[in-house]
């Protein structure tokens, strides 16, 4: 292993524990992946990892890891992280199955599926770098799968994940519109608010302000480099010279921000329409699309983010039971496997500098989103006559309006049965 990403979190904890929290967000102004400042260099010298990166997470994360630095070594923490990541792969696969099939995953299928996911280059890349992505994605998968059966636990997990990665906040908002999931949304929002308040109460205000400034800086710039597979990076790379592995570009074409935003809006509207139409998988299509859109059109798309595609692939298979979707979903799964495993595009057989590497992840993410709504629409056309939809505030209101329109004659007279 080369746990560079975990080392960044660990060094952040070391700085807090050593009373150097003011240097937590020290960074190179032009190289996103480079450390900066003597406190970071001194702390990094104590960690057996060749390329630690700057710390960008919520400062509360560093304070939590500071507690770990008191009770274990970095090497021991890496072992625990690897164990938890393996456990979370099981949780991810089982939760994805439970979400779409609404039943417990059989042990035999679970064993094969977990083994298959474990061998994907995106998974190996995540484990090799000591990434927390398996924990994050598993938390999201369990949170949405258990949103009806265990709302308190699902909500707390989503709230915690939202503290580390802000993206899951979108999922909490979506759940608030579903009557049977609303309690999870309340638990999630409450947990997020509690952790946010804790950040202000227990973390030095200067550190919090520095973190917010750092997040604002990242949001206003474009991180250009083949390692970042986002649309913004790909578009900006045409006019911005990538001096470093991940160059922080402050001057970039407007299309680098505008095009992803437009595509995200279009994909959102399509996903909402298909989710409204598909009675059986209304919630699943909407929530998984929301997660995928938030990732695919963000300004940062790392290789390990592709673990989220497990939720999409499971959805393809779940919707393969209708007369219009018997073969197509399996072609979608095969397409994702090819995109993530082809020698030119995977992070094991290739390097970020290999031609074509930067396009693999973003193609898989956007392609999976498009394929999900396409299969969802075909499934709806074939099965809506035998399925009842899960109640959803906005969708039900639209359905009532449409129904009233159909019940009225062209001249405005109410249609009555003979």
Please write the tens of the pLDDT for every residue from 1-35. 788 889 999 999 999 998 988 999 988 888 888 88
Token pair for residue 242?
Answer: 């990538």
Average the pLDDT over each of 136-145, 203-212, 213-222, 335-344 and give the range with the smallest value: 335-344
Give me the half-sphere count of Cα atoms (radius 13 Å) on the Cβ side of residue 98: 19
Burial of 101 (0-12, 13-18, 19+ CB in 10 A): middle
The band of 400, judged by pLDDT with boundaries at 50, 70 and 90, is low
- Mean pLDDT, all residues of the chain: 86
In angstroms, rounded to a whole number, what is the distance separating the alpha carbons of residues 69 and 222?
33
Q: Are 383 and 320 in contact (CB under 8 A)?
A: no
Given a cut of 70, is residue 259 above it in pLDDT? Answer: yes
Nearest to 21 by CA among 48, 81, 61: 61
In angstroms, rounded to a whole number, what is the distance separating the alpha carbons of residues 139 and 72?
24
In terms of residues, how long is the chain?
Answer: 418
What does the pLDDT read at residue 14?
93
Percent of the chain with pLDDT over 70: 88
Beta strand 222-224 with 247-249 is antiparallel
* Stated pTM of the model: 0.88
How many helices (H) and strands (E) the chain has is answered by 18, 2
**Alpha-helical segments (H) within 19-104:** 38-44, 59-71, 74-101
Q: pLDDT tens digits, residue range 50-108?
A: 788 889 999 999 999 999 999 999 999 999 999 999 999 999 999 999 999 999 999 99
90: Cβ contacts below 8 Å, ≥ 6 apart: 110, 114
335: Cβ contacts below 8 Å, ≥ 6 apart: 367, 371
Q: pLDDT tens digits, residue range 295-330?
A: 999 988 888 889 999 999 999 999 988 888 887 788
Nearest to 93 by CA among 309, 368, 303: 309
What does the pLDDT read at residue 67?
94
C-alpha radius of gyration, the chain, whole number: 23
Q: pLDDT tens digits, residue range 141-158?
A: 999 999 999 999 999 999
Kindly give the interhelix angle for 74-101 and 121-129, rounded to the nearest 10 degrees. Answer: 150
What does the pLDDT read at residue 330?
85
Give me the half-sphere count of Cα atoms (radius 13 Å) on the Cβ side of residue 343: 0
Nearest to 308 by CA among 44, 131, 78, 190: 131
Q: How would DSSP label each residue in 307-352? A: GGHHHHHHHHHHTTTSTTSSSHHHHHHHHHHHHHHSTTTSTTTS-T
């Amino acid at each position: 292993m080369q746990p560079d990403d975990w080392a960044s979190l660990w060094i952040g904890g070391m700085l807090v524990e050593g009373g150097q929290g003011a240097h937590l967000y020290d960074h190179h102004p032009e190289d996103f992946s480079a450390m900066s400042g003597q406190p970071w260099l001194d702390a990094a010298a104590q960690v057996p990892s060749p390329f630690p990166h700057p710390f960008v997470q919520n400062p509360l994360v560093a304070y939590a890891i500071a507690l770990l630095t008191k009770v274990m070594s970095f090497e021991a923490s890496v072992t625990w992280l690897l164990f938890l990541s393996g456990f979370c792969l099981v949780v991810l696969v089982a939760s994805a199955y439970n979400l779409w099939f609404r039943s417990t995953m059989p042990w035999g299928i679970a064993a094969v599926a977990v083994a298959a996911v474990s061998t994907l280059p995106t998974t190996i890349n995540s484990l090799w770098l000591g990434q927390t992505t398996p924990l994050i994605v598993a938390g999201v998968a369990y949170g949405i799968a258990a949103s009806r059966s265990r709302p308190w636990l699902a909500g707390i997990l989503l709230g915690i994940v939202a503290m580390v990665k802000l993206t899951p906040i979108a999922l909490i908002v979506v759940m608030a519109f579903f009557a049977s999931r609303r309690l999870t949304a309340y638990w999630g929002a409450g947990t997020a608010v509690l952790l946010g308040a804790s950040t202000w109460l227990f973390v030095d205000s200067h550190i919090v302000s520095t973190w917010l400034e750092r997040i604002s800086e990242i949001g206003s710039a474009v991180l250009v480099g083949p390692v970042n597979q986002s649309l913004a990076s790909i578009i900006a790379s045409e006019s911005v010279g990538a001096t470093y592995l991940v160059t922080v570009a402050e001057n970039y074409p407007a299309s680098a921000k505008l095009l992803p935003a437009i595509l995200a809006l279009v994909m959102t509207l399509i996903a909402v329409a298909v989710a409204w139409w598909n009675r059986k998988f209304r919630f699943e299509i909407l929530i998984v699309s929301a997660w995928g859109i938030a990732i695919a059109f963000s300004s940062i798309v790392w290789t390990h983010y592709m673990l989220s595609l497990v939720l999409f692939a499971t959805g393809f298979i779940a919707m393969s039971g209708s007369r219009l979707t018997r073969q197509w979903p399996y072609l979608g799964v095969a397409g994702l496997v090819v995109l993530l495993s082809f020698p030119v595009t995977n992070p094991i057989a290739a390097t970020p500098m290999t031609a074509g590497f930067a396009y693999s992840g973003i193609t898989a993410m956007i392609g999976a989103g498009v394929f999900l709504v396409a299969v969802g629409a075909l499934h709806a056309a074939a099965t809506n006559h035998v399925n009842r939809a899960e109640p959803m505030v906005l969708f039900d209101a639209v359905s009532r309006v449409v129904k009233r329109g159909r019940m009225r004659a062209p001249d405005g007279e109410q249609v009555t049965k003979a």
